[in-house]
Amino acid sequence: MKAFAFQGKRPGIGPQTGRRLFTPFGAGLAAILSLAIAQRANAEAAPPPASTANLSQLPINGPPPRTLGVWITNSPSPVYYSHARIRQAVEELQAAGFNAIYPNVWSRGTTFHRSQFVPVEPHLAAAGLELDPICTLSAEARKRGMKVIPWFEYGLMEPATAAVVQDHPEWVLAKANGNTIMRMHGKEMVWLNPAHPEVRERFIGLVVEVLKRCRMHGLQLDDHFAWPVELGYDPYTVALYRQETGVEPPRDHTNRIWMTWRRRKLTGLLRELRERLGREALPKRISLSPGPFRFAYNHWLQDWELWAVGELIEDLVVQNYAYSLKGFAKDLDQPALRKARQWGMPVQIGVLAGFGKRTTPMPVLAEKMRLSHERGYGVIFFYWEGLWGAHSGREGATFRRKVFQQLGTTPGESILEQSK
């Protein structure tokens, strides 16, 4: 699961909040919003059909930007466990104008193929490895001119109970009090040390293994490819810092020199990954999906501005899960994003479509797309089931799918031509 950083209050769906939030954005959104209000007022009623007139008034200014994509994962979703479901998902995405798919290939310490580095995801092992969901998805997408970018969601994070954690405690980062556990997504997790050579070898080996299995268009790392700022007091890191600097690590984990040293180690792992991909003649196009720069820089020690300037990444998908449109727009205008655009870096915005009980209403999604598009950014939605699947909410799958088809009006073939 993406690491949500919700800001502000969830947008209310009611006459007053609807008028306050959406009236400035045009009659089209107001028309669509009126449908959402009606649905919210009567939760037991089936969602009303979306009329062509309403859909045609959505705020679309010209063709969508280069990338319209979606993250796909198994948590929770049955899509990976059936060839028919995979084929249907790709067909529906193509029909809605999507041109990029980011399938999760590394989750909760497991992967979706037989690996020499990590165990197989248990549900896939039970369903049968011959399903091969990642390569099946890649083949189906290629037939339709869509790009597939494998998403290494968990990065350097592992469940605290993972075998690798038990077998190699010396690989695990620790807080100043010696505790290694961090609560993430309601689970006890640990972080493997990006400065440790064996951790680097294992992580890079996993990436290479995935990219060698079937044709991909690069890879994606996200906010879990990180060094949490409070970590770094394990014996290995302390000894390495002492060896390189001649002093002990500061007890203050926000000490600027101490933070810079750890950032450089994380950057070193990224550079080593790129070098290995080059030697193996594998796709070197690395997409990064971090949070807003200030948070990523100070809390995850990700210097993605430096990585962009230094050509260590080729694509930026910044997660912006702010509930309020005001907060969303503010994060779109952060200086680091504007700089990335000036440098010619392709920029996409990660937008929450729906997850669990949080389903973003279509009027809000439409406006977030418009705000992103007018700044020249593409959009990647989290996640597949939140588009028009299991997390469609009260609007219903039929209504949401029709609206998404209207929002992604340019046919898949035309989008592909634009992305070349």
Give the model confidence (pLDDT) of 155-205 as tens digits: 999 999 999 999 999 999 999 999 999 998 789 999 999 999 999 999 999
DSSP string, 89-137: HHHHHHHTT--EEEEB-EETTEESS--SSSPBPHHHHHH-GGG-HHHHH
The residue with greater pLDDT, 46 or 403, is 403
Helices within 246-334 (DSSP H only): 256-279, 293-299, 304-309, 325-332
- Give the model's pLDDT for residue 315: 95
Secondary structure of 218-250 in HEC code, one letter for each residue: CEEEECCCCCCCCCCCCHHHHHHHHHHHCCCCC
What pTM was estimated for this model as a whole? Answer: 0.84
* 212-238 per-position pLDDT tens digit: 999 999 999 999 999 999 999 999 999
Using the predicted structure, report yes or no on whether residue 208 has a pLDDT greater than 70. Answer: yes
Residue 142's SS3 state is: helix
Local confidence band at 2 (pLDDT 50, 70, 90 cut-offs)? low
Identify the bridge partners of residue 318 per DSSP, sorted by sequence position: 349
Write out the two tokens for 48: 């009303």
* H or E element in which residue 353 lies: none
Using the predicted structure, report yes or no on whether residue 276 has a pLDDT greater than 70. Answer: yes
The CA distance from 395 to 399, in Å, is 6
* 187-199 per-position pLDDT tens digit: 999 999 999 999 9
Write out the two tokens for 5: 């950083």
The CA distance from 92 to 142, in Å, is 14
Using the predicted structure, report yes or no on whether residue 344 has a pLDDT greater than 60. Answer: yes
- Give the model's pLDDT for residue 341: 86
- Give the model's pLDDT for residue 49: 37
* 3-61 per-position pLDDT tens digit: 544 333 333 333 222 323 333 333 444 444 444 434 433 333 333 333 333 433 444 44
What is the b/e burial string over 185-222, where b = at least 16 CB atoms within 10 angstroms of the residue's CB?
A: eeeebbbbbbbbeebbebbbebbbbbbeebebbbbbbb
Averaged pLDDT score across all residues of the chain: 85
The four Cα atoms 318, 321, 323, 326 give a dihedral, to 10 degrees, of: -10
* H or E element in which residue 25 lies: none
Q: Which of 98, 102, 207 is nearest to 148 (CA)?
A: 102
The structural domains of the chain, with segments of one domain joined by +, span 15-39+51-419
* 58-86 per-position pLDDT tens digit: 444 444 447 999 999 998 899 999 999 99
What's the residue count for the chain? 420
Lowest mean per-residue pLDDT among 20-24, 278-282, 366-370: 20-24
* 248-263 per-position pLDDT tens digit: 999 999 999 999 999 9
Provide mean pLDDT across the span 295-324.
Answer: 95
Q: Which CATH number fits domain 15-39+51-419: 3.40.50.620, 3.20.20.80, 3.90.190.20, 3.40.50.970?
A: 3.20.20.80
Backbone angles phi, psi at 179, to 5 degrees: -75, 135
